[in-house]
Amino acid sequence: MMNVLHICSNFQVNPLYKELLFRLEGDVHNTVIAPIFEPRDSDKPEYNGISVHYFQRDKSYLSRLHFSKKIKNITAFVEQQIDLSNIQLVHAHTWFSDGAVAY
């Protein structure tokens, strides 16, 4: 079974990603990093057997100007939460923000 790390900043707001990961779950073990602005009651650490790690992002306007700092903070969170030696594939769900963390 392949272990895939998903960087998905839209996981909280778009049900398409949850459905995609649920459909992959039989063949792939999915772990999700979901950068969010504010936690919701529905944000659980597991979704249908999928491990989800929520990173609470800074929602200030200044944080949008400091892209590299935002990416470094999320990357540090990933390195603390996930044993990357077990991950075989990293998938970024958006090209720019998620892609910078995946890279």
H or E segment at 61?
A: helix 61-65
Quote the pLDDT of residue 45: 65
**What CA–CA distances, in Å, run from 75 to 5, 29, 51, 70?**
12, 21, 17, 9
Structural tokens at position 70:
């935002």
> How many Cα atoms occupy the beta-carbon half-sphere of 101 within 13 Å?
29
pLDDT per residue, tens digit, the chain (103 aa), is: 899 999 998 888 888 988 888 888 788 889 999 887 666 655 566 666 778 888 887 777 777 788 888 889 899 999 999 999 999 999 999 998 899 999 9
Residue 43: predicted pLDDT: 59
